[in-house]
């Protein structure tokens, strides 16, 4: 059953994936149906014609034979008055059989009627059996007293049998009483003709079906081949081979299609190159501006630091201006740093400084650094260890990664959760499997719509432009985080629902650039869809030596 199912799936795949196979198979099946119907009609017509002709000839021959039989029977009686009944019957049958020719065109069977009580003898030619005459025909002959006929199977005493026509009529033999005379006409020639015609129809039909399928295959191939070529060129074009084109042959519709496709590809190639040039100019501009702004920024920073340190000597308005200047310079400097970093990613110049990293220790350091900000918002930070994927070996959350970049990713995720967490708990869960380590950051704040989730990693994008950036973000943090994670060959994903909070999941392979197949932590939280309680109970602490901030099992969170 498994092999049959696998074969069925392969055939289904071939059927759905090849227009050539579908058209050829459909043509073959329809041709087979049409040829079978035409062959059946032709054979039926020929068979009916042959049988009708054989029936007419048999009846005509039988009528003539009946007339001759009456004459012969009277002559035999007249010339052989002292002959025995057996001799009379033998003479009559022999005389009638002589008219059949050699080889005989028919058999003669002389049977006594049921009411003949003279113990009359019965005779037949060539060992023909009385079973050749159906009972219904004998009844019809006796009841009507006229010529009757039917189709039958002529059987012989040596167990041979052939299809034929039986024609019978009553015959009175003087001195012997009433008999039934039957002429049995074999249909051997007609059957042979039908077999020959049937064989010819089958052979011609099979050849016609094969030729039609071959013609359909050739014609379809002429259409499918350019389409396949166009599909291959389109795939190559989609993979970045912008110079790929379809070879134009002829001047038909397919040639015009190929020419139009090539024109479209040339136009797209030109526009893509223009966009690439524009993107390179923009990236270079951002990198150059970011770099060039560092020198004047350093000078402004030195002056601002002096003003900030001496703010106690100024009046209130001047002191406040010095504080605002210091704050905005910090933000400006952060923006330049982010712009330079995103420029490195765009230019492909970002590299990893890989070493062995304990994710649990890193998470605790980042949580400890973010705690003052979280305290201002009233959002407790909780670190949870998920050991549900623990195997026989000790639970381990170490990876080969760039600690500086992963630290920056986690800080961005926590800062984002704190800003949008609405003062509710923020739960950081760490999970590990044999091939990967994952960290989820779950908040219970305003949440994300589907559209916001699709754009959350877009540069400078904000879900609510009217919402103030109280943490001083640049709008590049999550975009840089995504690039840092991709640089490791990892995943950075997000789940969110309005008023249900959001959950960001960071998944890293054990070794940088290893292929990821799954994550040890679920992206969609187990409490998704449940009304958020502003007074969420924090999980009880466990394993304090592993997680110095706070820790619990994943089950304890719910």
Contact 482, 507 (CB under 8 A): no
Tell me the residue length of the chain.
Answer: 558
What is d(CA 472, CA 55) in angstroms, rounded to the nearest whole number? 109
Residue 358 bridge partners (DSSP): 398
| Predicted local confidence at residue 134, as pLDDT | 92
Q: Tokens representing 495?
A: 């789940």
What is d(CA 21, CA 23) in angstroms, rounded to the nearest whole number? 6
Q: In the Cβ-directed half-sphere of 203, how many Cα atoms lie within 13 Å?
A: 6
Quick one: CA dihedral 449, 450, 453, 455, positive or negative? negative
Contact 352, 487 (CB under 8 A): yes
Contact 364, 430 (CB under 8 A): no
Which residues have CB under 8 Å from 409's CB, separation 6+? 481, 484, 485, 492, 506
Q: What is the DSSP string of 327-381?
A: HHHHHHHHHHHHHHHHHHHHHT------EEEEHHHHHHHHHHHHHHHHHHHT--E
Pairing of strands 426-432, 381-386: parallel
Name the pTM for this structure. 0.48
Contact 496, 453 (CB under 8 A): yes
3-state SS, 492-555, equals EEEEEECCCEEEEEEEEECCCCCCCCCCCCCCCCCCCCCCCCCCCCCCCCCCCCCCCCCCCEHH
Q: What is the DSSP string of 206-271?
A: HHHHHHHHHHHHHHHHHHHHHHHHHHHHHHHHHTT-TT--PPP-SSSHHHHHHHHHHHHHHHHHHH
| Predicted local confidence at residue 79, as pLDDT | 47
Phi, psi of 172 (to 5 degrees): -100, 125
Q: How far does CA 427 lie from the centroid of its chain? A: 42
Per-residue tens of pLDDT for the chain, all 558 residues = 788 888 877 877 777 777 778 888 888 888 889 988 998 999 999 999 999 999 999 999 999 888 888 887 777 654 444 567 778 888 888 888 888 888 888 999 988 887 766 677 888 888 899 899 999 999 999 888 889 999 999 999 888 899 999 999 998 887 788 889 999 999 988 888 889 998 988 999 889 888 888 888 888 887 778 888 888 888 888 887 778 888 887 777 778 888 888 888 888 888 888 877 777 776 676 666 666 777 787 788 788 788 878 888 888 888 888 888 887 777 777 677 767 777 766 666 677 788 899 999 999 999 999 999 899 989 999 999 887 655 545 678 899 998 888 998 999 899 989 988 888 999 999 999 888 999 999 999 888 888 888 878 887 776 555 454 444 456 777 888 888 898 888 999 999 888 888 999 999 998 888 888 889 999 888 887 665 554 444 444 334 333 333 333 333 332
Phi, psi of 65 (to 5 degrees): -65, -35
How many Cβ atoms from other residues are within 10 Å of residue 305's Cβ?
14
Q: What's the burial of 428, exposed, middle or buried (CB within 10 Å: 0-12/13-18/19+)?
A: buried
Q: Which domains does the chain show, CATH number per domain?
A: 21-192 (3.30.450), 253-347 (1.10.287.130), 355-557 (3.30.565.10)
| Predicted local confidence at residue 287, as pLDDT | 65
Residue 442 bridge partners (DSSP): 427, 503
3-state secondary structure of 170: strand
Of the candidates 441, 437, 440, which has an alpha carbon nearest to the alpha carbon of residue 390?
Answer: 437
Contact 340, 291 (CB under 8 A): yes
Q: What's the burial of 416, exposed, middle or buried (CB within 10 Å: 0-12/13-18/19+)?
A: buried
Which residues have CB under 8 Å from 143's CB, separation 6+? none
Phi, psi of 166 (to 5 degrees): -105, 125
Pairing of strands 501-509, 398-401: unpaired
3-state secondary structure of 203: helix
Which residues have CB under 8 Å from 207's CB, separation 6+? none
| Predicted local confidence at residue 283, as pLDDT | 66
Q: What angle do CA 288, 290, 294 make, to 5 degrees?
A: 115
Q: Tokens representing 460?
A: 């400078």
What is d(CA 142, CA 39) in angstroms, rounded to the nearest whole number? 42
CA dihedral of residues 525, 530, 536, 539 (deg, nearest 10) = -40
């Amino acid at each position: 059953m498994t092999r049959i199912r696998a074969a069925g799936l392969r055939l289904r795949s071939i059927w759905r994936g090849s227009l050539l196979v579908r058209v050829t198979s459909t043509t073959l099946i329809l041709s087979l149906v049409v040829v079978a119907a035409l062959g059946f009609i032709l054979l039926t017509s020929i068979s009916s014609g042959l049988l009708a002709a054989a029936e007419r000839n048999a009846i005509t021959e039988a009528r003539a034979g009946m007339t001759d039989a009456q004459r012969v029977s009277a002559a035999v009686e007249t010339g052989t008055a002292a002959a025995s009944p057996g001799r009379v019957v033998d003479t009559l049958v022999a005389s009638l059989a002589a008219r059949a020719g050699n080889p005989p065109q028919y058999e003669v069977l002389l049977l006594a009627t049921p009411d003949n009580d003279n113990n009359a003898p019965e005779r037949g030619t060539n060992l023909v059996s009385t079973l050749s005459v159906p009972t219904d025909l004998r009844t019809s002959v006796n009841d009507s007293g006229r010529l009757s006929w039917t189709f039958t199977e002529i059987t012989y005493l040596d167990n041979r049998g052939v299809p034929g026509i039986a024609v019978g009529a009553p015959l009175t033999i003087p001195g012997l009483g009433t008999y039934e005379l039957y002429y049995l006409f074999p249909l051997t020639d007609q059957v042979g003709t039908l077999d020959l015609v049937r064989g010819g129809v089958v052979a011609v039909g099979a050849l016609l079906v094969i030729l039609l399928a071959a013609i359909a295959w050739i014609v379809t191939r002429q259409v499918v081949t350019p389409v396949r070529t166009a599909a291959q060129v389109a795939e190559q074009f989609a993979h970045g081979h912008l110079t790929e084109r379809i070879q134009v042959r002829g001047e038909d519709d397919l040639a015009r299609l190929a020419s139009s496709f090539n024109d479209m590809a040339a136009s797209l190639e030109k526009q893509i190159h223009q966009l690439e040039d524009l993107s390179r100019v923009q990236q270079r501009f951002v990198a150059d501006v970011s770099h060039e702004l560092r020198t004047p920024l350093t000078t402004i920073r030195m002056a601002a630091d002096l003003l900030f340190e001496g703010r106690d000597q100024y009046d209130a308005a001047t002191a406040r201006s010095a504080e605002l200047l210091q704050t905005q310079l910090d933000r400006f400097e952060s923006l330049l740093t982010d712009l330079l970093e995103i420029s490195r990613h765009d230019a492909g110049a970002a590299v990893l400084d890989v070493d062995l990293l304990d994710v649990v220790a890193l998470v605790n350091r980042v949580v400890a650094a973010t705690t003052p900000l979280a305290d201002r918002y009233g959002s407790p930070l909780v670190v949870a260890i998920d050991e549900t994927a623990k195997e026989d070996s000790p639970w381990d959350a170490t990876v080969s990664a760039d600690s500086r970049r992963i630290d920056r990713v986690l800080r961005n995720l926590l800062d984002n959760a704190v800003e949008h967490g609405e003062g509710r708990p923020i739960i950081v869960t760490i999970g590990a499997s044999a091939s990967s380590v994952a960290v989820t950051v779950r908040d219970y704040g305003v949440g994300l719509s589907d559209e916001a989730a699709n754009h959350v990693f877009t540069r400078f994008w904000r879900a609510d432009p009217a919402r103030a950036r109280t943490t001083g973000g640049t709008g590049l943090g999550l975009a840089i985080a995504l690039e840092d994670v991709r640089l490791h060959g990892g995943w950075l994903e997000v789940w969110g629902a309005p008023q249900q909070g959001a959950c960001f999941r960071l998944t890293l392979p054990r070794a940088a650039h290893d292929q990821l197949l799954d994550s040890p932590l679920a992206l969609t939280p187990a409490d998704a869809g449940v009304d958020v309680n502003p007074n969420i109970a924090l999980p009880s602490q466990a394993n304090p030596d592993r997680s110095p901030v706070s820790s619990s099992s994943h089950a304890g969170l719910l």
